Amino acid sequence: MDRKIKFITMAVLVILLLGAGAFFGRSINSLWCTSTQALNLGPTIKPEITVPQAVMNLQDAFVTIAEQLKPTVVNISTTQVIKQEYQPYEFFFGNPFDNFFDDFFNGQQPNQQRPKQQKKYLERKLSGTGSGVIISADGYILTNNHVIGGASEIEVTLSDERKFKGKIIGQDPKTDLAIIKIPADKLPAAMLGDSDKIRVGDWSIAIGSPFGLEQTVTVGIISARRQSLTIDNQQLREMIQTDAAINQGNSGGPLINIKGEVIGINTAIYTPTGGFVGVGFATPINKAKAILVQLIEKGKVTRGWLGVEIRPVDEAVAKQFGLKEARGVLLNSVMKDAPAERAGLKRGDIIIEYDGKPVKDTMGLQDLVAQTEPKKKTKVKIWRNNKEEMFDLVVGEMPGEVKEGEKNIIPGQAGAGGTSQVSKEWLGMKVQPLTKDMANQLGYESAEKGVIIAELAPGSKAESAGLQVKDVIRSINRQAVTTIKEFEKITAAAKLSDGIVFDINRRGRLIYLTIQEK
């Protein structure tokens, strides 16, 4: 009986083992088949993935744009020769005979006259690379001025690897744009679009030679439109911001829309590391179109000029000057014998209309004037003495380099000049009368009248308004200030909620400053 039970038990175990073996065998075989398929060692099954036609059309659009626009984009290699002065007879550790003469001749070198050394120069060649876009079939190429500026040699490489020597035709440092030309014809030229029509969120495509890698295409969107920004101490205005990858060497290449039109010239990147971080900037193509003819025909750009220094009209200025709303620009100063002065404009005027167009802000006026052809007669509407007045003005030509002239200042304490009269503190500052001796010492005209800031508390409201020690306050809210008594009377009635306007003389430069708290 025991043998029979044992036999049955063994049979059951055998059956179970066989079943388990068959099961695991099938599992292992399944795993093996799966792994071989993954390694392409066995038959594969085509996945059933449906790509929307719209996606395929978009992909085809990028491919088409790349195929059509790449031939219009060139690589620009530059060479700049720099001369460095060096002394040919300098010893690395000094003159080896100095110690000898010190020991035996008390430092006197007998009958020795050191030969007069002539200056020697060592020439170094610096190489650079950038991009450009062909804008005409006869070889005109648009690029950045900083790509070719200072170059002694320019080599242009086309998409078909042909190389040409480039010649600088025109440069405009103000917009950082330039035109070069190569001796070639029947070239493919890019179509220039309308940068005023771009929208944040539109597709953007950059083509260029980042790090010298030619014919590189990157895609992104228009991230923003920037009115003004400063990169590497250079002020850039009205720039297109994009997250399409832009790196060193992309400068001068085109930024393109989904239609294949050039909407900008890649100009700068923001990067704390030196590489791409998703923030690039392009100069709008409309700025280039506005100056192309001048660059090609004249080699430079001539712009209109009024000869004034301006500042925005904020709520404080509007209220104190009698305007119902903050609009226009305030004339900080008017240069002597400049077009504005000849037309009758004065310091303190507010320009509200130029050539029939409303003036919204300082940048708006600068653009309107710059776009005006020199010697053109135009009309300027201003706000003066609580009423509008119209003036006829002949626009001048902007000088090549405008520098703010500031007088040299003799350092000295604001309290110098033999007076100890100082006002009470107001908005964190104290003032004292401006005497003739003090004016002469600090570089002001002897006829200047006002009170001078003697003390200014760090972080005070006066400092936040932009006031500085040694500034001469000529008036407050358009009321003359020449004595401490006048200063304290006017400031006692001034309200921050209404806004306060300071008329300042800062070492010969007349400016308006404002402060307001609601």
Spatial separation of the C-alpha atoms in residues 64 and 60, rounded to whole Å:
6
Residue 509 in any domain: the answer is yes
Q: Which of 296, 320, 349 is the last residue of a domain?
A: 296
- Asked if residue 281 and residue 314 are part of one domain, the reply reads no
Which CATH number do you get for residue 156? 2.40.10.120
pTM score: 0.64
pLDDT tens across 422-445, in order?
Answer: 888 899 899 988 877 778 777 788
Instruction: Identify whether 433 is part of a domain.
Output: yes
The tokens describing 152, both together, are: 């002694």
- Tell how far CA 106 is from the center of its chain: 61
Same structural domain for residues 274 and 308?
Answer: no
Confidence of residue 189 (pLDDT cuts 50, 70, 90): very high
108 CB contacts (<8 Å, ≥6 apart)?
101
In this structure, the answer to whether residues 393 and 443 fall within a common structural domain is: no
Phi, psi of 80 (to 5 degrees): -125, 130
Q: Please check whether residue 12 lies inside any domain of the structure.
A: no
Query: Is 132 contained in some domain?
Result: yes
What CATH number is given to the structural domain containing 312?
A: 2.30.42.10
Contact 311, 279 (CB under 8 A): no
Same domain, 158 and 272: yes
Say yes or no: 182 and 263 in one domain: yes
User: Phi/psi of residue 5, each to 5°?
Assistant: -65, -40
Q: Which residues of 12-21 are buried (b: 16+ CB within 10 A; e: fewer)?
A: eeeeeeeeee
The answer to whether the beta carbons of residues 215 and 238 sit under 8 Å apart is no
Q: Which of 422, 423, 377 is nearest to 396 (CA)?
A: 377
Q: Where are the alpha helices (DSSP H) in 450-518?
A: 461-464, 484-493
Indicate the pLDDT class of residue 501, thresholds 50, 70 and 90: very high
In terms of DSSP H, where are the helices of 50-131?
53-69, 98-105
| pLDDT-based confidence at residue 44 (cuts at 50, 70, 90) | low
- pLDDT at position 459 over 60: yes
Residue 504: its H or E element = strand 500-506
Q: Is residue 278 part of a domain?
A: yes
Q: Do 152 and 201 belong to one domain?
A: yes
- Look at residue 35 and tell me if it is in a domain: no
- Of 296, 324, 346, which one is at a domain's C-terminal end? 296
Residue with tokens 């009309």: 379
Taking the C-alpha atoms of residue 262 and residue 281, their distance in angstroms, rounded to an integer, is 14
Residue 95 counted as domain residue = no
Domain shared by 439 and 510, yes or no? yes
Domain end position, chosen among 296, 314, 337? 296
279 and 137 fall within a common domain: yes
Q: Which residues are catalytic?
A: 146, 176, 251
Residue 6 has pLDDT above 50, yes or no: yes
When divided into structural domains, the chain yields a total of 3
Answer yes or no: do 125 and 212 share one domain: yes
Is 310 in the same domain as 196? no
Classify strands 396-397 and 429-433 as parallel, antiparallel or unpaired: unpaired
pLDDT: is 278 or 503 the higher one? 503
Residues 357 and 266 in one domain: no
* Domain that residue 278 falls in: 52-86+120-296
Handedness of CA 342, 343, 344, 346 (dihedral sign): negative
Q: How confident is the model at residue 111 (pLDDT cuts 50, 70, 90)?
A: low
Specify which residues 388 forms β-bridges with: 383
Residues 312 and 284 in one domain: no
Please indicate, yes or no, if residue 149 is contained in any of the structural domains: yes
